[in-house]
Structure 1
Amino acid sequence: MSDEKPICSAKGCRSDAVWVLAWNNPKIHTPDRRKTWLACDDHREHLSQFLGVRGMLKDVVLLTEWEARQD
């Protein structure tokens, strides 16, 4: 297991990730497939809007909640 903290997926951002944005591209992914981007508090809304206007955003959850789901 890595000691590195997850960082925000926004271009150039090195802040700790707090949120998971689950998405899929319906043109290329099956409906149950989930890709993820990570976001800090400052970039959560921007990244959510980017995916949302493209119809790809499926869920936004706290990173701690996402990790608990994966166990």
Structure 2
Amino acid sequence: MSDAVAAAPPSGTDHVCSAKACRAPARHAVVWNNPKLHKPERRKVWLACDDHEKSLADFVALRGFLIEVVPVEALTDADG
């Protein structure tokens, strides 16, 4: 599942699910950090539609990387 995250959304669209081959609107933000690669303050984000929220969150949680899952609207400039 290392290629589970899709490339950037097509131009002109906002908040598209990060799951591979999914182009659905994202409603959730899976916020995570891999401490072996990122500074503690770094907040990586995968966007998720309703169908992929659990699988993307579970993927990073299993590795101990999950910080939180929040609505897309709750993201701040510190996320990304």
Q: Which range, TM-score by smaller chain?
A: 0.7 to 0.9
Q: Give me the CA root mean square deviation.
A: 1.3
AA aligned opposite 2:38: H
Structure 2 segments unaligned to the other structure (5+ residues): 1-10
TM-score by length of 2: 0.77
The 5 A counterparts of 1:1-71 are 3-66=12-75, 69-70=76-77
User: Which AA in structure 1 matches 2:51?
Assistant: D
| Runs of 4 or more consecutive aligned structure 1 residues displaced over 6 Å after TM superposition | none
Task: State the TM-score, normalizing by the size of structure 1.
Answer: 0.85
Name the count of aligned residue pairs: 67
**Identity over aligned pairs, percent:** 48
Give 1:7's aligned amino acid: V
1: distance between equivalents of 2:13 and 2:51? 20
Structure 1: gaps spanning 5 or more residues: none
